[in-house]
Amino acid sequence: MRKAILAIIDFFHPPLKKYISLHNFRYLATGGSTFVLGYVVYYLSFYHLFKAEEVDVLYFTLKRGTAAMAVDFAVAIPYSFIMNRYVVFTHSEVRGRVQLFRFMNLQFINILLNISLYKFLADVLLIYPTVARFAVQILLAGFSYIYQHYFTFSVKKLGKKG
């Protein structure tokens, strides 16, 4: 499966290879697929799964957008970890359980930032919910890349230390 995914991604890289490394292109492609998956799941949840403006979940009442975001996270987070671990950052020497712990740490941070920024854009600035969700995802993409590249799936540098 990994080889098939890489073959598809790598097919589109040649026209861009003088602008972006293969590794970064693969990260952008898998991140882009995660973005699209999350956005589609959010959209379907917001417009088709949750019809009422408020959703009762156990002992909590959530606004429809927050509930849709929770469904989005439940689908996109596992997909993202699998794609990053087995497609993009395959040369990492960090153990799988450590990667998972670090990745979930990032996701916790992202969830807090997502909810805060989303609520600010949608509830305070009254930006349309799906547009607010899109804007938040774009803002957090760069942060996630840096965190994952240099911490979650870090690879030891080769050469002399000095």
Per-residue pLDDT tens over the stretch 52-83: 888 888 888 988 888 898 899 899 999 999 99
The verdict on 40 and 11 lying in the same domain is yes
Measured CA to CA, the distance from residue 110 to residue 152 in angstroms comes to 14
CA 99 vs. chain centroid, Å, equals 15
pLDDT (tens digit per residue) in 144-162: 888 877 777 766 554 444 4
Domain carrying residue 139: 94-161
pLDDT (tens digit per residue) in 105-131: 988 998 899 889 988 998 999 999 889
User: Among the three residues 67, 88, 109, which one is the final residue of a domain in this structure?
Assistant: 88
Predicted pLDDT at 124:
94
Predicted pLDDT at 71:
93
pLDDT (tens digit per residue) in 7-42: 999 999 999 989 988 888 988 899 899 989 998 998
The verdict on 68 and 131 lying in the same domain is no
Predicted pLDDT at 155:
61
Pure H helices in the chain: 2-11, 22-44, 64-83, 96-119, 129-147
What's the pTM?
A: 0.77
Three-state DSSP class for 118? Answer: helix
User: Among the three residues 69, 88, 107, which one is the final residue of a domain in this structure?
Assistant: 88
More confident site: 158 or 91:
91
Measured CA to CA, the distance from residue 162 to residue 158 in angstroms comes to 12
**Number of separate domains in the chain:** 2
Taking alpha carbons only, the member of 59, 85, 121 closest to residue 2 is 85
Three-state DSSP class for 56? Answer: strand
The verdict on 44 and 63 lying in the same domain is yes
The verdict on 60 and 110 lying in the same domain is no
The verdict on 21 and 40 lying in the same domain is yes
